[in-house]
Chains A and B, each alone.
Chain A
Amino acid sequence: MVSGPNSLGDIAIYQDKRCGGSTVSKILLAEDEEILRMLITDVLEEEEYDIDVAEDGQKAISLIECNKYDLIILDYMMPGLTGVEVAEKTRYEGINKDAAIVMLSAKSKELEKNIAFRSRADYFIAKPFSPLHLLEVVKGILEDAQ
């Protein structure tokens, strides 16, 4: 579906697609590192996903409040609200209560894994991570949902 050069500018194209067809899966990506945002959106562009991005927890929350998502990818360490806090809020109430959540973290300690699962993330991926593995995970979750 994506046409044109694969560059950082693609994010803008994805964002414009928010109001597109209803059959495409809608994904929210919250990650504070710009380069990683680019990496993830690039790797997911292969599939026809509608991707929203947020650069911090606060932004992610405001997007979650007014948009229905099939999958939410959260970075654990974000300034302001952490990924876990965003996940907890998401699960607590609102339209995305049942959305699938994938947690990314540079900290791979068991403890933090536990915290991520307590917030009922569906999947946990430790940094540095393989983007292709992430793609497999996302695909798997979305296929299960359908």
Chain B
Amino acid sequence: MVCYLLVFLGLAVILLVTLDNLNESYKEQNEILMKKENVARNIEKNCSSVFLDIRGFLAFGNEEMKERALEKEPEIRKQITMLRDLAIDEDDRKFAVFAEDFVDYYFDDTLPDVIANYEDNNMKAILDKANNESIQKLAEFQGKLEEYLETKDKDLHSKLNHFTKMEKYIQVGFIFFMLVSLLTLERIIRHMLTEIGKPLSELAKASNETAMGREAVLHLEIGREDEIGVLSSAFQRMLLSIQEKENELVSHNEELLAQGEELQKQQIQLESALESLEERQRSLNGRNELIHQISDTLEEQKVLENAVNFMAKAIGADCGLISLVEKDLHANYAVPEDAVRPYLKQIKQSEFVARLQKEQHAFIVSRKPGLSVKGMHQGSFFLHHVYVPVFLTEGSLYAIMLFCRYCSSFEQKDLDEYEALAKSIGNILDKVRFYQKTEEERKLNQEVINTVQEGLQLIDANGKLLKINAALCEVFECKQYIAELEGVSSERWAPYMKNMIEDGEAFIDYLEKVLDGSGDSEGFVYSMKDSGQVFKVYSEELSLGVELNGMILVHRNITKEYEVDKMKSEFVSTVSHELRTPLSSILGFSELMLYRDLSPEKHKNYTKTIYQETQRLASLINDFLDVQKMEAGKQQYRMDYVKVYALLERVVSLQKLSAPEHCITIEMVSKNEKVFGDEQKLEQAIRNLVSNSVKYSPGGGPVSISCYREGEWLKLAVKDQGLGIPKESLDKLFTKFYRVDNSDRRKIGGTGLGLSIVQEVVKAHSGNVTVESEYGHGSTFTISIPVVEYNNCTEKETVDT
């Protein structure tokens, strides 16, 4: 095929090239001929004009003409040279040589002669010459030129003829070539049809036959090696294997037919089995429905109602009742209200209960009904009852069911079914009981955890928060989302707590130790950033069963203990300081008295100092002990009605002994005013206030004590016009050992406990003490004690007390 195509293409190309070449050579030759002709004609034209000009010159003596003729010479010569260059054949060359000769003769010999003769006016010589040879030569040249031109024309014609002929030949060749090609193509197609198409249609036919299920025979020559050969042999193999398979199938089919018969027999058996299964399934569905209906609630009463309703419907009872054995809890189905009680009584009859407990099976009782049920019925009529026990999983009788039918009796064979249903009810009741129990326990646990004052935090071994109680949430401000905290990982809750704790890093360290299991039993003390409350946290391992289930972290608020502790140590340090100062004086001066020789004055002075400091020490210790006693609540108060005026008078007279220069006055409306309290302690309190007033009025200013009622309160005010107290010191005034610190007061001694004692005493009398003061203008201390009415019978009461 490819060969054929190549040959076809090659021939076509050769034809085309030949045609082209022919065309080209014709054009070339034609061009050369045209050129030659042109040159020849130019020569003729130029020569003619020269001849004319020369004749003109000779005739009229026009110099210009002569010049023009002479000028043409080089041009004619050039054209002759061109002609010679273009010459192809002998003819051309001859003509060229001839033309050259003629030009040589004319321009070199004749024309100069003629011109010279003309100038000599020798016309005769010119004429001679012309007649002798020139005319003849000229005619000869012109004849030759004509002849040459004619030959060239002829040449051109013959060339054209030749070309047309050649073209014709080529066209004929081309048509012939096309015919040959068509024939060859036809041969090839025919060959292909016979070689490939036929076997293919054979194959198609055969496969068609096979597909139709008929036996196919392939009429093909064996041994072909091309694709068709391979295809046909594969097809034949396929046919063989199909035939084999078919045989196999036929035998299988026979076997299957035999089996089919057997299967039919089995199917009949199965259908009967299926019927019984369906029946069984119906009863199971019923039970499922029962479980489903009953268990949609976890309330025991509801469960009983559902159970009795369902059972009654399931067994076709006219009425039904279920009652718990131990508890007074029951439900009924279609039992008239007034009949419920008697039925209940009947159901709980000890003989029935005992029988059910003993036999553990349902039983049937039939009896004649009472009048109320019989009603309109006539003739013999029985009321049928069935008693069904409900057992818990552990086996104890938990409830009894009673169902009744008015017409048809219960049948013994159905009892099994009833018992099965009762078992399901028992299971459900069991679950409900269990749920209630755990729910109660859970609530109790939660309640317990929440009522514990300590913060509790239950975490698992990985630090996940399992439970947290309200107390801890109160502290860490998480109460509103306490429920969401369960299951939160330690990565979240630990940093949260850390941020609220003063030394958060240390807390995290402690937690890490706890989770490692390397935490000590000492616990960890931390204080809250905002409230300043102090907590101690300790951990206990919680192991339920074998595995370590987690930890409980207990956060105990120890703020009070902590503060008491701190106060105690501060107190001790303050007291020791207060004691050391007078001790230093006593020790120092006595040492000097012992080891130094002193002047008598100095000796006396030192002794006096030692005496005063010892007194100071003693009163300090007394005051200190008083405060301690009062704070600890150990101070005994002997309460009685006390005459206020007498008490005040005693205080004033005592004070006057040590400060005679001060004027101390008592102002009160009624000298019979009485107050209910401990006389000695009240006196101590007022004495402290008065002595303070005196002490801090160094200029000897007046001090007044006034007693008056204000509503329910009896007021005792001690007023002075002394130093006064700076504003910033007012709130610290009643703090133990606090002493207003400025240079005016430095010289005035004091323990700093007087006002603390006053406050404690007044507190013990359910009252309070307040102070008003302007710095530099004196102070007023006011004690307020609730009034307790002193009635007629007081004398008696006093005796009694």
Q: Which A residues fall within an 8 A CB radius of B?
A: 5-8, 32-36, 38-39, 42-43, 55-56, 77, 79-80, 106-107, 109, 127-132
On chain B, the residues within 8 Å of A35 by CB distance are 585, 609, 613
Q: Spot the interface stretch: B389-397, B574-582, B632-640.
A: B574-582
Query: Are A36 and B584 also in contact (CB < 8 A) when A6-B601, A107-B577 are?
Result: yes
A5 and B573 contact, CB distance less than 8 A: no
A131 and B577 contact, CB distance less than 8 A: no
State whether the Cβ of B102 lies closer than 8 Å to any Cβ in chain A. Answer: no
B601 and A5 contact, CB distance less than 8 A: yes
State whether the Cβ of B599 lies closer than 8 Å to any Cβ in chain A. Answer: yes
A106 and B584 contact, CB distance less than 8 A: yes
A132 and B591 contact, CB distance less than 8 A: yes
A128 and B588 contact, CB distance less than 8 A: yes
B588 and A36 contact, CB distance less than 8 A: yes
B598 and A6 contact, CB distance less than 8 A: yes
Shortest beta-carbon distance, B484 to chain A, in Å? 47
A79 and B577 contact, CB distance less than 8 A: no
Query: Are A107 and B589 also in contact (CB < 8 A) when A6-B598, A35-B613, A79-B746 are?
Result: no
Q: How far is the CA of A107 from the CA of B580 in the complex (A)?
A: 8
State whether the Cβ of B377 lies closer than 8 Å to any Cβ in chain A. Answer: no
- A selection of 12 A-B contacts at a CB cut-off of 8 Å is A5-B602, A35-B585, A39-B588, A42-B592, A106-B576, A106-B581, A127-B580, A129-B584, A129-B587, A131-B592, A132-B592, A132-B595
On chain A, the residues within 8 Å of B589 by CB distance are 39
B581 and A80 contact, CB distance less than 8 A: no
On chain A, the residues within 8 Å of B587 by CB distance are 128-130
Query: Are A39 and B613 also in contact (CB < 8 A) when A106-B580, A128-B583 are?
Result: no
B741 and A79 contact, CB distance less than 8 A: yes
Q: How far is the CA of A38 from the CA of B613 in the complex (A)?
A: 14
Q: How far is the CA of A128 from the CA of B617 in the complex (A)?
A: 13
A39, closest chain B residue (CB): B588
Q: How far is the CA of A8 from the CA of B587 in the complex (A)?
A: 18
Q: How many residues of B contact A (CB 8 A)?
A: 26
State whether the Cβ of B367 lies closer than 8 Å to any Cβ in chain A. Answer: no
Within 8 A of A (CB), among B328-356: none
On chain B, the residues within 8 Å of A109 by CB distance are 573
Shortest beta-carbon distance, B741 to chain A, in Å? 4
Majority DSSP secondary structure for residues of A touching B: loop
Within 8 A of A (CB), among B598-620: 598-599, 601-602, 605, 609, 613
A39 and B741 contact, CB distance less than 8 A: no
Total A-B pairs, Cβ < 8 A: 74
A46, closest chain B residue (CB): B596
On chain A, the residues within 8 Å of B595 by CB distance are 132
Q: How far is the CA of A39 from the CA of B598 in the complex (A)?
A: 13
State whether the Cβ of B747 lies closer than 8 Å to any Cβ in chain A. Answer: yes
A7 and B581 contact, CB distance less than 8 A: no
B601 and A107 contact, CB distance less than 8 A: no
On chain B, the residues within 8 Å of A39 by CB distance are 584-585, 588-589, 592
Contact of A80 among B601, B741, B747 (CB under 8 A): B741
Q: Which B residues fall within an 8 A CB radius of A?
A: 573, 576-577, 580-581, 583-589, 591-592, 595, 598-599, 601-602, 605, 609, 613, 741, 743, 746-747
B600, closest chain A residue (CB): A5
A131 and B602 contact, CB distance less than 8 A: no
B576 and A130 contact, CB distance less than 8 A: no
Q: How far is the CA of A129 from the CA of B590 in the complex (A)?
A: 12
Shortest beta-carbon distance, B748 to chain A, in Å? 11
Query: Are A130 and B588 also in contact (CB < 8 A) when A7-B602, A106-B581 are?
Result: yes
B746 and A130 contact, CB distance less than 8 A: no
B588 and A131 contact, CB distance less than 8 A: yes
Q: How far is the CA of A33 from the CA of B587 in the complex (A)?
A: 15
A77, closest chain B residue (CB): B577
Contact of A127 among B584, B592, B598, B741 (CB under 8 A): B584
Shortest beta-carbon distance, A134 to chain B, in Å? 9
Shortest beta-carbon distance, B528 to chain A, in Å? 27
On chain A, the residues within 8 Å of B592 by CB distance are 39, 42-43, 131-132
Contact of B581 among A6, A36, A42, A131 (CB under 8 A): A36
A5 and B599 contact, CB distance less than 8 A: yes
On chain B, the residues within 8 Å of A42 by CB distance are 592, 602
- Identify which of A39, A43, A55 gathers the most chain B CB atoms within 10 Å of its CB: A39
Q: How far is the CA of A5 from the CA of B577 in the complex (A)?
A: 32
Q: How far is the CA of A35 from the CA of B606 in the complex (A)?
A: 10
On chain B, the residues within 8 Å of A130 by CB distance are 587-588, 591
B746 and A36 contact, CB distance less than 8 A: no
On chain B, the residues within 8 Å of A7 by CB distance are 601-602, 605
Contact of A107 among B573, B588, B747 (CB under 8 A): B573
Q: How far is the CA of A70 from the CA of B435 in the complex (A)?
A: 89
A127 and B583 contact, CB distance less than 8 A: yes
A107 and B576 contact, CB distance less than 8 A: yes
Query: Are A36 and B585 also in contact (CB < 8 A) when A5-B599, A131-B592 are?
Result: yes
Contact of B577 among A8, A55, A106, A129 (CB under 8 A): A106
Shortest beta-carbon distance, B376 to chain A, in Å? 107
Shortest beta-carbon distance, A122 to chain B, in Å? 20
On chain B, the residues within 8 Å of A79 by CB distance are 741, 746
On chain A, the residues within 8 Å of B747 by CB distance are 34
Query: Are A128 and B580 also in contact (CB < 8 A) when A6-B602, A36-B588, A39-B589 are?
Result: yes
On chain B, the residues within 8 Å of A127 by CB distance are 580-581, 583-584
B591 and A131 contact, CB distance less than 8 A: yes
The 3 A-B pairs with the shortest beta carbon distances in the complex, nearest first, are A106-B580, A128-B584, A128-B583
Q: How far is the CA of A80 from the CA of B588 in the complex (A)?
A: 26
Given contacts A36-B588, A130-B587, 18 further A-B contacts (CB under 8 A): A5-B599, A6-B598, A8-B605, A33-B585, A35-B585, A35-B609, A39-B585, A39-B589, A43-B592, A77-B577, A106-B577, A107-B576, A128-B583, A128-B586, A130-B588, A130-B591, A131-B588, A131-B591
B599 and A6 contact, CB distance less than 8 A: yes
A38, closest chain B residue (CB): B609
On chain A, the residues within 8 Å of B581 by CB distance are 33, 36, 106, 127
Q: How far is the CA of A117 from the CA of B137 in the complex (A)?
A: 161
Q: How far is the CA of A79 from the CA of B741 in the complex (A)?
A: 7
Shortest beta-carbon distance, B768 to chain A, in Å? 29
Q: How far is the CA of A35 from the CA of B576 in the complex (A)?
A: 18
On chain B, the residues within 8 Å of A38 by CB distance are 609
